[in-house]
Amino acid sequence: MAERSFAKEVEKLRLADGETFEGEGILAVTKGLLQAGVAYVGGYQGSPISHLMDVFADADPLLRELGVHFEANASEAAAAAMLAASVNYPLRGAVAWKSVVGTNVASDALSNIASGGVTGGALIIVGEDYGEGSSIMQERTHAFAMKSQMWLLDPRPNLPSIVAMVEKGFELSEVSNTPVMLELRVRACHVTGSFVAKDNVRPAMTVGEAAANPKRDTNRIVLPPANFAHEHEKIERRWPAAVNFVRDSHLNEWFGPERDEIGIIVQGGLFNTLNRALELSGLSDGYGSAQLPIYCLNVTYPLVPEEVTTFCRGKKAVLIVEEGQPEFIEHELNTMLRRAGIDTCIVGKDILPRAGEYTGQVLCDGVATFLDKWSPERAPDRSMPAPTDTELAKEVPPRPAGFCTGCPERPIFSAMKLVQRELGELHVSADIGCHLFSILPPFHIGNTTMGYGLGTAGASAFKPAGRRAVAMMGDGGFWHNGLTSGIGNAVFNKDDTVTIIVDNGYSAATGGQDILSSRADNPRRKTKNPIERAVRGMGVNWVRSINRTYDVTAMRDTLKEALTSREAGPKVIVASSECMLNLQRREKPLRARAEKEGRRVVRDRFGIDPETCTGDHACIRLSGCPSLSVRQNPDPLRQDPVTHIDQSCVGCGNCGEVSHAAVLCPSFYRTRIVSNPGAFERLLDSLRRRIIGWFQMQHERAIAARAF
Amino acid sequence: MTRATERDRITLAIMALGGQGGGVLANWILDVANANGYVAQGTSVPGVAQRTGATIYYIEMMKSLATSGNQSDPVLAMMPAPGDVDIVVASELMEAGRAILRGFVTEDRTTLIGSTHRIYAISEKSAPGNGISASERIIDAAKQRAARFIGFDMEQAASDAGSVISSVMLGALAGSKALPFPRDAFAEAIRRSGKAIEANLSGFEAGISLARDPQVSSRTHTAPLRPTSTAGRSLAEAIETMLPESARPIALEGVARLMDYQDRQYAELYLDLLDRIYQCDDGSEDWRLTQVTARHLALWMAYEDTIRVADLKVRASRSRRIAEESRAGNDQLVRVTDYLHPRIEEVCDILPRALGSAILNGKVLRSVLNRFFSGGRHVETTRLRWYFALRFIASLRRWRRGTLRYTTEMDRIEAWLDLAADIASEDSALAIEVINAQRLLKGYSDTFERGFARFEAIQQLARGLRGKPDAASRLRTLNEAALADEEGKAFDYALAEECNDAAA
């Protein structure tokens, strides 16, 4: 079950011609695909594209009605390989993933499909996870487009433009027999807006029909001599076809006056930010009526030489606003102008920052610098930005991401911290996923992270005689590639590494999608394939499964055993407990209903006695649970804040177990609240309360007697 | 930078933490704007920020023009530019501070609507001492930097209204009149969203009225303790005659604590010991040495042994507090399980001195008995068996003076006070730091032992620092370093520095 349900929103995908669609960017993309008569969709989840996968999944009934095949692929490589369906058949297909990491994973298949080319339109929707919203290395998808000769669309971030590019993208792909990438920045995926819908179109041919009538063309297979022919084909036929289509369909746009001494060329995705910068400089307005020429590249690869030279000719200088590095477009613009003998000065990374997101402030500054040099009469007065208040900056603490309240991964790292106290610091090869939050406070665990599912592979160089390395792997990463690249590799090379596979039942970090080992029933997929069986099947003999990670003592002891066991070969601990976010989402409504219906319901939460808490906060350093917080000490004698547990506690028990395992303090207690108890339970309780109450009264009197 | 002063565009940033309903609030605002003659656009950066991090939802809206045919759609930005934000809604005080730091709050245009409650960041929570940031600093900056600041505890308002903070924030926004929509338009958006309408409306109403008239939370100053018993009165009188005024309130607390902890005689012992320091106090800084000794001596004498813990666990007042915290209804049962882990050391602590030390020092006996105390126990204190077991341990209070731990702690206290009294005659500032080092004695088992080791190192150092001009400030640095981190890196470093100095 995914974190966010689009069950209601996907109804909007049924809108007919002329109706107005209102909603988020990713839904608009899906509507665009259906309007374009897509025959199959797929992909792999990951921010900011996870929600697109969730939309596909929730829209599955509609997709079936239309004869569209949907597949949640095992990895980006699998998704890219699925585009093979468009090689021989006129099938339009779209796949989606997070770039640049997903594109890295997919690049083998991508190179193959780009080489052989496609018959049906192939669209790759990449969420460019760049800047503030990013959790990955900062690189550009643009490089992939150039090296494989795929076309890259970067539409203006508004719904009509995005939808138009989805539709035109298929046409471009078909006319040039080349796969097309549609790049959406993180905010564009989630931007709200509206556009006028068209009817959905059933694919002219379904994947079923194609499979029933197989076609074969060895010229499309990457094998000598065809592969050499592909290269020529790319350059001599597909490239010109694409340039012609981009030009003739007016995919790029022009704003502002026709004539000027200067101008700006901008990537489509940055157009809105640029316009705001111009507006704040008094050179545009809220409707994009710029007072200097702007050439907006909704297609950033390939460039159209005629358009570029026409725009630049007669201008003293043109600013290119291109995010990220290297400045591929700037390089190409310079080459084009040299070849055409035009001496317009291309201004780009010499005044704009090489690194970092192009935010409103960055572009305001960049435009001002550009105008200062090339059109000083139009340059805005630049007021000095207010100096940062360093005193204030000291008071505002950073908020690193951390495990959710009740997260089953937290006790794994609490246990690891305890083991480190006994055995000394460990080399921990971390992976991608929620468990990567271990590198942040309060755990500070994890030395490297090399990629999704690559935790174990990342430890493979460490074969020390004394201490074993520890590798982390999530269940998502395990099925993505960790089973082969990590476990298989460790078995084959006789590694001694200890691998902890965190099995929380979902691809949790990307929003709780089901995977092979999910415990959930999923009518469309085969779930419940245990990780332990796969690991044993791969040849690992030392496997321990822990079915309740909250048992910190068991976690600690098992990890210690794995690190000290005399047995040779890889050791694998499968640590399973369901993702608490998903668990709560599923169980909370059920519990509320049961309670209402008068059935017995038990709810746990934890508390701390402020009188026995001495304010050392060792428990927080071993847990970091959001519900485990501090407050002013109610004791007038004590000065340090006292620990306390707020109402958000879900009663997972981690804090109590940690307190036990680490022998911390006697302050933790569990309150169990029983709703609709049975008659006998009620009687027993009242009996106990009466007896204890009487003794407590005596005790209270004794205390009062000696009181101040 | 020149900017159009007249504009029909409104920009609004919501600074929220994961789980606070920032997305819900953004959707309501978008809905209000779209339904009332504006074209509105929202963007956000979800992802890992959904967990515990801070995140920004950004909204822009522009008056829709009469469709003239050739007018294109507005071009709205995807992220706030510093100096260009009309309204900032912050769901927590430090997030308001973050908005100020990022330049989103400017005097010329920004209405800052911020909750003044705190959700502590991990760095604030995990400090071994007090790591909490100064809220006043942020509130001052908010007042100075914003064109208008509307701040109140929205979390409390939500809780009082039986609602969630997002609806209170919407109410505060409506009440601020920073957006050109009537309040009914906001309420309509809540109704249209169709979820928890009643609760959301009640939070919304609370938000509106508090935005107009924020109730300044009056900090309740606790009045000095008044005695309730004959013994209490006579001790209060003794404090009155014996101690300077500035030390009296803490001494009263100390006496009350120790009477509760042990008995009247124990409180009298406390005053005797305190008097010893008072006699050496030169009265500087309004008798600060006596003040800090009153606090730290009381805390040390009320050390947390197993008897004390058991005593606190079985009290009626605790049962009442837990029942209240649990918010359980009359038809619900509340059961309490304590997580206790007494080690052999804690058990021996409350045995008669000779027996306790015999076990701890006898290798065979200790390892045999240790087996019974190696695991943690889940002690259900609402069951008779465990209640009576703890009640029995609590009753050992009467024999506490004969226990091993009592002797140990009394010896330590004596040594500590002796040193302070000795130093006080020549350097009362240094004596104050010697006393303050008691703050390091916290927690139980390993935590306590770690703290005690640092405490001893500081006492040792104090002896060596005597007569040095900046002795007190150097010791204070060490006291602070001891609470800087758990592993003691800062402390070891500071100590090494001191030792180098001493050697040089």
Evaluate if residue A568 carries a pLDDT over 70.
yes
The distance of B502 to chain A (nearest Cα, Å) reads: 31
Domain annotation covers residue B345: no
Q: Are the beta carbons of B340 and A639 separated by less than 8 Å?
A: no
Q: What is the pLDDT of residue B136?
A: 93
CA distance A210 to chain B (A): 38
A552, A421 contact by CB (below 8 A): no
Report the chain B residue with the minimal C-alpha distance to residue A393: B101
List the single residue in B76, B319, B444 with the smallest CB-CB distance to A665: B444
Nearest CA in chain B to A628: B125
Under an 8 A CB cutoff, do A666 and B339 touch? yes
- What residue in A sits closest to B20 (Cα-Cα)? A648
CATH of the domain at B206: 3.40.920.10
Predicted pLDDT at B66? 55
Q: What is the pLDDT of residue A409?
A: 95
Report how far residue B279's alpha carbon sits from residue B474's, in angstroms, rounded to the nearest whole number.
25
By residue range, what is the domain housing residue B92? 9-66+73-212
Sort out which chain B residues have CB atoms less than 8 A from A361's CB and list them.
81-82, 103
Q: Nearest by CB to B222, which of A612, A636, A706?
A: A636
pLDDT digits (tens, 9 = 90+) for B410-427: 999 999 999 999 999 899
C-alpha A545: how far from its chain's center?
28
Percent of all residues in chain A with a pLDDT value above 90, rounded to a whole number: 85
pLDDT at A333 over 60: yes
Domain pair A253-378 / A410-582, same fold: yes
Rounded to the nearest angstrom, the minimum Cα separation between B313 and chain A is 8
CATH number, domain A600-676, options 1.10.340, 3.40.50, 3.30.70, 1.20.120:
3.30.70
Averaged pLDDT for residues A509-536 = 91
Does the structural domain A253-378 have CATH classification 2.30.38.10?
no
Question: In terms of DSSP bridges, do strands A542-546 and A571-576 run parallel, antiparallel, or are they unpaired?
Answer: parallel
Rounded to 5 degrees, what are φ and ψ at A431?
-125, -170
In chain A, domain spans = 9-248, 253-378, 410-582, 600-676
Distance of CA A572 to the CA centre of its chain: 27
Cβ contacts (< 8 Å) between A621 and chain B: which residues?
126, 486
pLDDT value at position A581? 86
| Residue A668 near residue A618 (C-beta atoms within 8 A) | no
CATH superfamily membership of A9-248: Thiamin diphosphate (ThDP)-binding fold, Pyr/PP domains (3.40.50.970)
**Closest to A361 (Cβ–Cβ): which among B52, B82, B322?**
B82
All residues of chain A having their beta carbon less than 8 Å from the beta carbon of residue B260 are 703, 706-708
Residue A240: the pLDDT is 98
pLDDT digits (tens, 9 = 90+) for B23-44: 999 999 999 999 999 999 999 8
Final residue of a domain: which of B187, B212, B237? B212
Chain A hits for B132, Cβ within 8 Å: 630, 641
The mean pLDDT value of chain B amounts to 91
Q: Per-residue pLDDT tens for B193-214?
A: 988 999 999 999 999 999 988 7
Nearest alpha carbon to residue A500 among A594, A567, A570, A604 = A570
Contacts of B263 in chain A (CB under 8 A): 706
pLDDT at position A303, please?
Answer: 98
Please identify which residue in the block is written with the tokens 């209405």: B111
Contact B260 A624 (CB under 8 A): no
Q: Is the pLDDT of residue B216 over 90?
A: no
Mark yes or no for CB contact B304/A612 under 8 Å: yes
Which residues of A are less than 8 Å from B52 in CB distance?
Answer: 399-404, 626
Residue of B nearest to A402 (CA): B52
Q: How far apart are CA B49 and CA A560, in angstroms?
A: 33
Among chain A residues, the shortest Cα distance to B225 is held by A708
Place A385 in a pLDDT band, splitting at 50, 70 and 90: low
The residue with greater pLDDT, B71 or A406, is: A406
Min Cα distance A89 → chain B (Å) is: 37
**AA letter at A308:** V
User: Any alpha helices (H) in B50-146, and if so which ranges?
Assistant: 93-101, 122-125, 135-145
Could you report the per-residue pLDDT of B318-368, keeping only the tens digit for each?
A: 999 999 999 888 889 999 999 999 999 999 999 999 999 999 998 898 888
Tokens at A640, concatenated: 């340090």
Query: With contact defined as beta carbons under 8 Å apart, do A171 and A251 qualify?
Result: no
Q: Which residues pair with B378 in a beta bridge?
A: B339
> How far is A191 from A26, CA to CA, in rounded Å?
8
Residue B266, domain member (yes or no): no
Superfamily for A410-582? Answer: Thiamin diphosphate (ThDP)-binding fold, Pyr/PP domains (3.40.50.970)
Among the partner-chain residues A273, A666, A704, the one whose CB lies closest to the CB of B338 is A666
Residues in A closer than 8 angstroms to B381, CB to CB, are 669
State residue A2's pLDDT score. 66
**Per-residue confidence at B2, pLDDT binned at 50, 70, 90?**
very low
Nearest CB partner across the interface for A663, out of B229, B254, B446: B446
Instruction: State the smallest CA–CA distance between residue B148 and chain A in angstroms.
Output: 18
A58-72, A611-625, B158-172, B216-230: the lowest-pLDDT one: B216-230
CB contact under 8 A, A670 and B336: yes
B381–A434 C-beta distance less than 8 A: no
Residue A484 neighbours by CB distance under 10 Å: 12
Average pLDDT, chain A: 94
Q: Could you say which DSSP state residue B439 is in? A: G
Which residue intervals of B36-182 are DSSP H helices?
A: 93-101, 122-125, 135-145, 154-160, 165-176
Q: Quick check: B472 pLDDT over 90?
A: yes
Among B178, B195, B212, residue at a domain's last position: B212
Give the count of domains, chain B. 2
**Could you say which of B212, B229, B251 is where a domain stops?**
B212
The pLDDT of residue B311: 97
What is the nearest CA distance from A86 to chain B, expressed in angstroms? 32
For A186-298, strand residue ranges (E) read: 192-196, 253-255, 262-267, 294-297
Which residues in B lie closer than 8 A to residue A185 (C-beta atoms)? 78
**Single-letter residue type at A493:** N
**Which pLDDT value is given to residue A196?**
96
- Please answer yes or no on whether B447 and A670 come within 8 Å at the CB atom: no
pLDDT band at B298 (very low <50, low <70, confident <90, very high): very high
Q: How many A×B Cβ pairs under 8 Å? A: 370
Q: Do A671 and B122 touch (CB under 8 A)?
A: no
Is residue B405 in some structural domain? no
